A and B are shown apart, each in its own frame.
Chain A
Amino acid sequence: MKAVLGAGLVALSVAVAGSVHAEPVKIGMITTLSGGGAGLGVDVRDAFMLAIKQSGNEEIEVVIEDDGQKPELAVQIADKMIQSDKVDLMTGIIWSNLAMAVVPSVTGQDVIYLSPNAGPSALAGANCNPNYFNVAYQNDNFHEAVGAYAKAQGFKKMFIMAPNYPAGKDSLTGFKRYYDAELAGEVYTKLGQTDYAAEIAQIRSSGADGLFFFLPGGMGIAFMKQFAQSGVDLPVMGPGFSFSQDVLGAIGDAAVGAKNSSQWSKDLDNEANKKFVETFQSEYGRLPSLYAAQGYDTANLVLSAIEKASVKDKEAFRAALKEADFDSVRGKFKFNTNNHPIQDIYMREVIKEGDVLTNKIVDTAFTDHQDAYAAECKM
């Protein structure tokens, strides 16, 4: 008994010593805080900082810079953060094209990068890297989930639409990976397009029984409002980005009833999520989006690794990250061999809670889903 008590005391004192002498950690965050896509970066930043604040760890310094959604600017900031700020870890990038410009050079300089949103296929397969951790999803995942859901629900003639750029093409490819019935139409729109009259006319005449679209940001807001006014009455579904908390207010009631896929939802029933939704709302006065949930998880993952290993010991720190020993707001979370998440993906429906539009989970599209590229990753 004495021995047990003694061991316990020793363990306790080590743990206390560990937190008292916590070493300083410097995290570089490059994210989008200006321009049309700023809402996403603001949510990631706010949730990340909320988690750091909740941890009470005062030794963590976060250097935040705005990339303006411009790849060349993001590259310059990354170089500056690594060379003059000497950051230990980096995170924050929202957009896949920016991630492609920044991540390979960051990981090449042996700096660990944690993605709170973008998950381009090029970084998940053959070009995976031990220094690159994706805490959000691989880009195809949400689209695959909607494809699987549409097939399971017995849709026979879907009309599918996305912008004509790499993530748009990945989206429709991901959808078709799990949906193999007939398509009523497949349309690529111009990136940044805001008037969808021509596409809506095609949807109307196509005889489709359902509509899948991926139009991030303002494009999706514009499309949904115009679609609701067109008199076309079809079930609408899309990835969670199109119906995330940050855009629902601007779409308005036109969004009610739309089905969308996400690995997180406000109503997920677990302690970490309840605390997150409640504290985020009281701190910032708005409901968190899925980007906020990802930012929050990213920070908590980093905090869990800091508890276990020194950030100066890259090998040990990478191993600590890979364990993913933190309370994810998604309930369960673990890393695949390519450092991308293995997680459940849900179908949500847009509902009205009082005056506020939000999402609730109606179905589970995938359980323990992993991406299609993990097998190509050799590390």
Chain B
Amino acid sequence: MSSALIIEQVLNGIQLGVTLFLMAAGLTLIFGVMGLINLAHGSLYMVGAFACAVVAAATGSFWLGLAASLAAAAAAGAVMEILVIRRLYARDHLDQVLATFALILIFSEATRWLFGSFPLYLNIPSALSGAVHLPGGAQYSLYRLAIIGVGIVVAAGLYLLISHTRLGMRIRAGESDREMIGALGVDIRTLYTIVFALGAALAGLAGALVGAQQSVQVGMGEPVLILAFVVIVIGGIGSIKGALIGAVLVGVVDTLGRFLLPVLLEVFLPPSQAASIGAAVASMLIYIVMALILAVRPQGLFAANA
């Protein structure tokens, strides 16, 4: 096993983590500030991917598509908040889960109705295609490196937004005491809509970035949503820092597990069995990690309201 392979796999883990972070950041903000479980976050991811694919196909520019994905997801998020989500804040979590699950079905079937059942074509921009040589002899996809870059920029931007702006101050205040900031005269309805649209835009961005290297199709958001929930539970609900560290942890554990477990098992099992048992255990690995972390720190690594 060469060092180039290990470097490549660690980068793969970080890249997966960064895409999960884009999803988890919005989810954790929405949960932290509004106390709302939004299962339909994966639908916003899908909206972003479809918007990017449609605009990129119409204009020939991936970058316009990317801008469209942010706009479409933010708009869909804002509309969703105003029409449906707003009525759910005072309800219990079961009602929220049921209503947002209904939204998943509505979004999926509406998308199928508009764009058909066949996956759409979206390719990565030519400026970012191909692989680059890294020090240590490793070769790595330029696009994946760019995703890591986007993730770092978004993380830094969110940090500045939350800790150094007036909006960030209100978001933090909303996390610690919802009633109080309402009583102090902050327009909490608008604040909620802005936070929801911001989270939606990040999900849309993730959908567009990932859609370009995977497939743009109905139902693409739900598998990612599950991982994003694991991330925010590990990181601590409401904490952006927790989401970032949780996401990279999940990404690296998942990638290295998939790659190293079958190799380890091969020491004492025949290759065919090692491959199949290793794959089965690797797919459980992040949940095992989550269980261990929750056993030690039930509130997650960096809970916002701890």
Contact = CB atoms under 8 A, between A and B. Distances in A.
The finding on whether chains A and B are genuine partners in a shared complex, rather than unrelated, reads: yes
Interface of A: 33-36, 38-39, 42, 164, 169, 183, 186-190, 192, 194-195, 197-199, 201-202, 204-205, 218, 221-222, 225-226, 229-231, 246-247, 249-253
B305 interface: no
A205 B2 contact: yes
Contacts of B9: 197-198, 201
A201 B215 contact: no
Contact of B258 (A39, A198, A246, A253): A198
Contacts, number: 135
Contact of A201 (B8, B117, B278): B8
Contacts of B5: 201-202, 204-205
A36 B217 contact: yes
A226 B213 CA distance: 6
A164 B214 contact: no
Contacts of B276: 164, 169, 188
A33 B109 CA distance: 11
B218 to A, nearest CB: 6
Interface in B237-276: 255-256, 258-259, 262, 271-272, 275-276
Contacts of A253: 123
A28 B259 CA distance: 45
Given A35-B219, A39-B119, A225 B129 contact: no
B12 A201 contact: yes
A217 to B, nearest CB: 8
B109 A34 contact: yes
Interface in B12-54: 12, 15-16
B4 interface: yes
Question: Max chain B CB contacts within 10 Å: which of A183, A247, A249, A250?
Answer: A250
Given A201-B259, A218-B217, A229-B213, A38 B15 contact: no
Tell me the dominant secondary structure on chain A's binding face: helix
Contacts of A198: 9, 12, 255-256, 258-259
Interface string B196-218: 00000000000000101111111
Interface string B116-129: 01111101100001
29 contacts: A34-B109, A36-B217, A36-B218, A38-B117, A39-B119, A188-B276, A188-B279, A190-B282, A192-B223, A194-B220, A195-B16, A195-B214, A197-B16, A197-B141, A201-B9, A201-B259, A205-B1, A218-B214, A218-B215, A221-B119, A222-B215, A225-B124, A225-B215, A226-B141, A229-B130, A229-B141, A230-B139, A247-B118, A249-B121
B214 A221 contact: yes
Tell me the dominant secondary structure on chain B's binding face: helix
A231 B202 CA distance: 29
A226 B210 CA distance: 11
Nearest to B280: A164
A187 B117 contact: no
Contact of A204 (B139, B212, B258): B139
Nearest to A173: B272
Contacts of A35: 108, 218-219
Contacts of B214: 194-195, 218, 221-222, 225-226
Nearest to B220: A218
Contact of A252 (B1, B16, B123): B123
A250 B259 contact: no
A186 B275 contact: yes
Contacts of B108: 34-35
A92 to B, nearest CB: 15
A222 B118 contact: no
B167 interface: no
Contacts of B131: 229-231
Contacts of B170: none
Question: Max chain B CB contacts within 10 Å: which of A33, A225, A246, A247?
Answer: A225
Contacts of B262: 187
B128 to A, nearest CB: 9
Nearest to A289: B118
Question: Max chain A CB contacts within 10 Å: which of B9, B139, B143, B258?
Answer: B258
